[in-house]
Amino acid sequence: MAERMVKSNGMELWTESFGEPGNPPILLVMGASAQGILWPEELINLLVAGGHYVIRYDHRDTGQSTVIDFQKNPYTLEDLAKDAMGVLDAYGIAAAHLVGASMGGMICQLMSIRHPERVLSLTVMMSTPLRTGVVETFALAFQGQATTEGLPPPAPRAIEVFLAAAANPPTNLQEAIDHQVKVARAMAGSVAPFDEQECRRTVERIFQRARNPASSANHGLVPSPTHEQAEALKNLHVPTLVIHGTDDPMFPPAHGVAAAERIPGARLLMLEGLGHDIPRPLYGEIARALLSHTGARA
C-alpha cells in the first residue's frame, strides 16, 4: 500500500492505493463525515487478491484532506463527485469500478450519471437512490420530528443516539470519542457482536489523523440531490450492484430496494443482519460479491 496526497478539484486529498497499478481499478468512496480508513484493509486485501488495484481516499473536510470554511465556500454533492473523479485523474485512471458506501453511494451514482464512460461498474452499498429531500427528511428525523417522505426514516436506535448528543454535546476529546463509539454501536447490525475495543481504537485513530475533527460535520450541510440529478438516475446504464442490510438503521432496507428499482438493470444483494457498517464476518461475502460483479477472479 502507498499513501499519496493528490490535487483534485482545487482540493488536496489524502489517498492510499493497494495492489498493482496495472490491474483493474476500484475506487472506494466512503460516506458522509467518514474518513477513507473506514474501508477495512482486510476487505481491501481480498479485492487485491482477486486481481484489483484499489484506492481509498479522505473526502474534503475529513481526515488529512483539505478543510473548508463551509459558510464562506459551501459545496454540493456534485463537488464531492468532482473530487472523487479528480482522484482517478491524479492516478491516470481512465475508467474504474466505483464502490460507494452510504453518502458515497450517492456520490458514485452521480459520477456514473455525469461520466458513464469512466465507470466500469457501480456498487451502491448501504445507501439510497439519488432523490430530492433526503437531507431535510433526515434532519427532521434527528430532531425528533415526523417525516412524510415515502422511504422510511432512520430507525429509533439511530435517532436516539443523535438526539442524546444534541441534548448533551461532547465537551472534550474523550467525550467526543465516547459519542462516536456509541454512534458506531447504534449503526452496527446483528450479524456479529459489537467489538467496542476495536471500534474505540479506530475512532481514536480517526481523531488523531484529522486535520480538524469538527470539519467533518460540514458534510451534514451538503444539500440534497437536485430534481435533475434524481431524474437522471432512470437513464443510468452502467452495470450496478446494490448491497444492503436487513438491519441497516440509517437507511432501512426499503432504501436498498428503491435503489435497485430506480437504477435500470441493477441487482440487489440483501445481506441478513448487516447494519450501517462493514463487519468482519461479512468481508468474505462482500468481497466475493464485488469480485463477481467486477468480473475479477473470486
Task: Tell me if residue 102 is catalytic.
Answer: yes
Q: Region of 25 please: left (phi>0), alpha (psi -120 to 50) or beta.
A: beta
Tell me which of 134 and 15 has the higher pLDDT. 15
Specify burial of residue 241 (Cβ count, 10 A radius: 0-12, 13-18, 19+).
Answer: buried
pLDDT at 297 over 60: no
Task: Map out the domains of the chain as residue ranges.
Answer: 2-131+215-294
Active-site hit among 8, 65, 102, 127: 102
CA distance 139 to 133: 10
Task: Tell me if residue 59 is catalytic.
Answer: no
Mean pLDDT of 239-267: 97
What's the pLDDT at 298? 46
Active-site hit among 83, 276, 277, 293: 276
Portion of the chain with pLDDT greater than 90, in percent: 89
Active-site hit among 248, 255, 277, 293: 248
What's the pLDDT at 133? 87
What's the pLDDT at 268? 98
The 10s digit of each residue's pLDDT in 18-62 is 999 999 999 999 999 999 999 999 999 999 999 999 999 999 999
Mean pLDDT of 142-154: 74
The 10s digit of each residue's pLDDT in 61-81 is 999 999 999 999 999 999 999
pLDDT at 86 over 90: yes
Q: SS3 for 90-159, per residue? A: HCCCCCEEEEEECHHHHHHHHHHHHCHHHEEEEEEECCCCCCCCHHHHHHHHHCCCCCCCCCCCCCHHHH
Give the chain's mean pLDDT. Answer: 95
Task: Tell me if residue 276 is catalytic.
Answer: yes
Q: Is residue 255 classed as helix, strand or coil in its secondary structure?
A: helix
pLDDT at 118 over 90: yes
Mean pLDDT of 121-131: 97
Does the structural domain 2-131+215-294 have CATH classification 3.30.365.10?
no
CA distance 111 to 123: 12
